Amino acid sequence: MTRPSSTRCRSPSALRALLLATLLLAAAGPGSAGYSEGIDALNRQDYARALAELRPLAEQGHAKAQWALAYMYRRGLGVPKDPVRADDWERRSARAVVGTSPPAASASAVPAPQPRAAGPSARRAAGQAPRVAAAPAGVPQGQAAGSGTGWLAAASKVVTNHHVVAGCRGLRVQSARGAGVARLVGFDRDSDLALLDVPALAEVKPATLRATGAATLGEQIMFAGFPLRAFVSDELHVSTGIVSALAGPKGDRRYIQLGAAVQPGDSGGPVLDGSGQVIAVVTGTLNPAPVERATGLAPQNVAFAIRGERVRRLLDSLGVSYRTGKSEGRLDSTRIAERAKEFTVLVECLK
């Protein structure tokens, strides 16, 4: 097995490529092939090809392509450096997700606009937590264009990754209690986190977040998710690993690194400690292509998760009460998995 240190890029160009090397792990949907080719071209600094792949998708309303195009304009990659255009593409990406643009350049939690703007918007302007709107009638039908994982952080409130719900016109959640409609309540793009309201889960016991929120180097973890649905069962999957580093790509402290086999579809899943408490949220894995080009070796079991502190900040910003606890003793892995089955859900993106 390759040691993590041996896969580190040693050239400046390879290091820059790592900034874009975390994979978005929602299951593939329409336009995903062109988007993947565009991001791969961006990683290898073939900006003309990246622009050719990403711009048509962005103009068609593909939220992730719009965000990538904003990235290129922000840094002048293959296009003239243009902050105004970058802001415009970021706003378009946000509109594709929630129907209207949030305040520009905000790294804090952004409450999603409600259909009836008068009451909730006035409360948000006053700095108060948004109230839960009436649940839409019925569960959205149709085949999902993509999917990820989420987990219940409070009564009816599901945490997942922002990229799982980006560009979705409808959201459906599948749980042990059946399907339910979901509504985007708020998100933190900077942390790749989103909060959904799922009225059907109001009576389900939520997860417990570790009180400190801090992971420990070398501690054993379990994460739960719904990976590779097109190839394996729709049943909840659990996997184990360790916290292999306390930072993400290029030392990014928003993340912890997991020595675990994360797969497409695991995005948004809870990372649990030995007491079954949530300490992080799975967000991506290392793109092997730029690493293999730089070193000749493909990285193995290099995944990243958003720290628990970021999750608590999102919930606090949106006025959501949640359970916390101290890790005392270690539970049997079968008990942790059984508990995770109660609060972990499949999040489906409908176009």
Per-residue pLDDT tens over the stretch 327-345: 777 899 999 999 999 999 9
* Pair of tokens at residue 114: 């409600």
> Is residue 197 classed as helix, strand or coil in its secondary structure?
strand
Contacts of 333 (CB under 8 A, 6+ apart): 222, 240
Q: Across residues 72-101, what is the average pLDDT?
A: 73
Residue of 257, 246, 311, 308 lying closest to 286 (CA atoms)? 257
CA end-to-end distance (rounded Å), the chain: 40
The CA distances from residue 250 to 44, 163, 193, 267, in Å, are 17, 21, 20, 21
Question: If you average pLDDT over residues 214-235, what whole number do you get?
Answer: 87
Structure tokens given for 16:
């820059």
Tell me, what's the pLDDT at 95?
A: 52
Please state, rounded to an integer, the average pLDDT across all residues of the chain: 78
296 contact partners, CB below 8 Å, separation of at least 6: none
Residue scoring higher pLDDT (147 or 5): 147
State which H helix or E strand residue 72 sits in: helix 63-75
Q: What is Dmax (Cα atoms) for the chain?
A: 58
204 CB-near residues (< 8 Å, 6+ apart): 152, 155, 175, 177, 342, 343
Tens digit of each residue's pLDDT (9 = 90 or more) over 113-157: 443 333 433 333 333 333 333 334 567 676 777 899 999 999 999
Question: Rounded CA gap, 326 and 303, in Å?
Answer: 25
What are the distances in angstroms from CA 72 to CA 151, 221, 294?
33, 36, 22
How does 272-289 read in b/e, with b if 16+ C-beta sit within 10 Å? bbbbbbbbbbbbbbbbbe
Q: Which residues contact 254 (CB under 8 A, 6 or more apart)?
A: 190, 191, 248, 306, 307, 310
Structure tokens at 247: 């930072």
pLDDT grade, residue 241 (50/70/90)? very high
pLDDT in tens, 38-73: 888 888 889 999 999 999 988 888 877 888 888 899
The first and second tokens of residue 50, run together, are: 């990246």
Rounded to an integer, the average pLDDT of 224-248 is 89
